[in-house]
Structure 1
């Protein structure tokens, strides 16, 4: 699958389509049928803060409740074109429930391998779609390694590895571009575990730049929980990739969707952030919770992983890394309903 495509102009948007497939002209011609549940077309809202306004992309409006549906729609459409009807996916939650949803829509069977302790709500969602869910007694990184071992006997449709997934995620760039009147924002802030949002946005905005549809790409800022921040550590060292070694130096985090100690595309993610002029920031657990509480006061029920990016945006505004006069879009990755146990801990706390 090509990693670079020419991008599109506004007149190439299919305005009769109310999903991300309105940008199908930006995708490779690989699909015998489109496996879509109406993903995309999520609201871009304005949220006030002490430091100025931020725009937030509320990705829980996607069918399974997270941004992963964008990539999974294109990935499962690709698998359908290849005649694959049974596959393995490893996930800490959102990717697995999204894979299960789109497998059901395509008439496929998904086997989801999740690390021990993954949110019960996310596991239940996958099960109810008809997927097989198996808890693996290990960390997120160890679970991915186990999935790779099993790839010898089953098709491994990893959303962290497969290029078709990024082709779907990149369409968020096109949607933000259209949301803002066909201009690019100054900055985009996202949480990062494996970094698919960073790579997808970099890919999409790069295509729009090549098409002459925008004048420059936005700076991409990524946030990781301080309890598990291998990309931040590498970025601050000026390293090309994450340092291999003991993964037990990382601790559990409320932002479970970003808890990946050894991201498989670390070099690409770091290169994309540097090329955009952006940066990486490690966020404490208390700051994640504070950002989550602020969003809740605005009526926005995002998961803690989504609040991670918002916390980083607040820090960047406070330190002057970004300014209130700039247009900054923060991606709120998924619904707070996906993390019911973590969210319930906030009740009654000050």
Structure 2
């Protein structure tokens, strides 16, 4: 039996498109797509009866019918860190980052569409996740990375069978090269930024917290934000669970002080973020000077009663070391939320609220920051 895939809809101009024939971005405004999908709040949601992967939330996911692609991703531990703060260890995913949540969704969509090849662009973690899940799905994969990308990450991509294209320049140069390839016939662009199926994978992060906390959510979710894929997925899940009667948490977004276009726009009361200079920072995974979904991210944080926090590199370095001393070795970007709200953070950013933060990527991919 063939099941139709939910289609794309543009959040800015309302344009709609069939996933099977659509370009990778809205043809009218060139912006990223959203998905024409809202789970039925009356549909049974019984994850304990499902498979040991994020597919356990099948009734809330936009892929009808039987799935074939999985590495038993998800179900990452939730551990206490400090009074009223828990951390979710998403660096224990199969490819060592939270990006597996979205990559498995994109690989399953691509498997059903059967393209000639899959392309992606990444500074590391998204590319390794897409490469791994394409390997699992038997799909040809090509990942465009900026020069200077960690050899540990590109080596992982190659080990999974992906063709790695190193592009001179920074992150945006790699994205432009991938998008040029994405315009070719028979290509599926597995973009963790432009393709909304990715966000419906990352939303399972919040569904797992809801399950682990016995059917409730904390008073705040603290989330690192560059392109916003985890925060926007979290916002989707919070809204969906609210329709099931679950009290929504505040959304607290964290950026690197060096590259913080969203924090600056939020402070100025702007609806969109102006591009900023690309500056060096230890938190390279969230150092995005012009996020394509900036308007959506800002709107989600405001609607969620949250705020933005920024952290300098010295606090990132200290937070990564502090986490390692607690037995949790993560990459510098993954230490951003702990730097923002942990015991060493200035002031009282949580104001007494219970909170969960993610540890998104393994330190084995980068080593300890110096």
Same fold per superposition (TM over 0.5): yes
Aligned-pair distance for 1:157?
Answer: 1.6
Q: Identify which of structures 1 and 2 has the higher relative contact order when contacts are C-alpha pairs closer than 8 Å and 6+ apart.
A: 1
Q: 1:6 to 1:310 in 2, by over 3 A?
A: farther
Residue 233 of structure 2 corresponds to which residue in structure 1?
A: 200
Unaligned runs of 5+ in 2: 1-5, 7-35
Q: Distance in 2 between matches of 1:128 and 1:55?
A: 34
In 2, distance between residues paired with 1:4 and 1:155?
A: 24
Q: How far is the alpha carbon of 1:316 from its aligned partner?
A: 9.9
C-alpha contact (below 8 Å) 1:110/1:132 kept by paired residues: yes
Q: Number of aligned pairs?
A: 334
Q: Which among 96, 99, 116 is matched to residue 147 of structure 2?
A: 116
Change (3 A) 1:29 1:296: closer
- Verify: 1:189 aligned to 2:216, yes or no: no
State whether structure 2 residue 262 is matched by structure 1 residue 231. Answer: yes
Match status 1:55 vs 2:55: no
User: Aligned equivalents of 2:310 and 2:54: distance in 1?
Assistant: 31
Report the Cα offset of residue 84 of structure 1. 2.3
Q: 2:61 aligns with which of 27, 30, 33?
A: 27
Q: How does 1:138-149 map to 2 (within 5 A)?
A: 138-149=169-180
Q: Using the alignment, how far apart are the partners of 1:146 and 1:238 within structure 2?
A: 34
The aligned runs of 1:100-111 (5 Å cut-off) are 100-111=131-142
Structure 1, 80-89 or 39-48: larger mean CA deviation: 80-89
1:55-94 CA deviation, whole Å, 9 max, x = no partner? Answer: 0001111100000001111111111111225111000100
Instruction: Say whether the 8 Å CA contact 1:235–1:270 is kept in structure 2.
Output: yes
Indicate conservation of the 8 Å contact 1:85/1:107, yes or no: no
RMSD: 1.8
Question: Residues 61 and 7 (structure 1 numbering): CA distance in 2 closer, same or farther, change over 3 Å?
Answer: farther
Whether 1:45 and 2:79 are equivalent positions in the alignment is yes
Instruction: Tell me, yes or no, if the aligned pair for 2:45 and 2:57 is still in contact at 8 Å.
Output: no
Distance 1:293 1:11 in 2: 39
Q: Deviations over 1:268-303 (max 9, x none)?
A: 011101100111112100011111111111000111
Matching residue of 1:307? 335
Shift of 1:14: 4.5
Residue in 2 aligned with 1:328? 355
- Does 2:256 match 1:256? no
1:218 maps onto 2:252 in alignment? no
Q: Is the 8 A contact 1:6 1:211 kept in 2?
A: no
Identify the match of residue 304 of structure 2 among 276, 284, 294.
Answer: 276
Cα offsets for 1:310-343 (capped at 9, x unmatched) = 111238974233134x320011111001113xx2
Q: Distance in 1 between matches of 2:44 and 2:328?
A: 30
2:326 is matched with 298
SS at match of 1:87: strand
Q: Deviations over 1:73-132 (max 9, x none)?
A: 111111111122511100010000000000000000110001111111111100000000
Which structure has greater helix proportion?
1
Q: Distance in 1 between matches of 2:42 and 2:213?
A: 16
Q: Secondary structure at the match of 2:75?
A: coil
Q: Could you tell me how far apart the structure 2 residues matched to 1:7 and 1:139 are?
A: 43
Gaps spanning 5+ residues in structure 1: where? none
In the aligned structure 1, how far is the partner of 2:283 from the partner of 2:349? 23
SS of residue in 2 equivalent to 1:155: strand
The CA deviation at 1:10 is 7.2
Q: Deviations over 1:219-266 (max 9, x none)?
A: 11111111111111111111111114xx5x331111111121111111
8 A Cα contact 1:30 1:78, kept in partner: no
- 1:145, distance to aligned residue in structure 2 (A): 2.4
Q: Per the alignment, do residues 285 and 318 of structure 1 end up closer, same or farther by CA in structure 2, a change over 3 Å counting? A: closer
Residues 203 and 234, structure 2, Cα contact 8 Å, conserved in 1: yes
In the alignment, is the contact (CA less than 8 A) between 1:141 and 1:261 conserved in 2? no
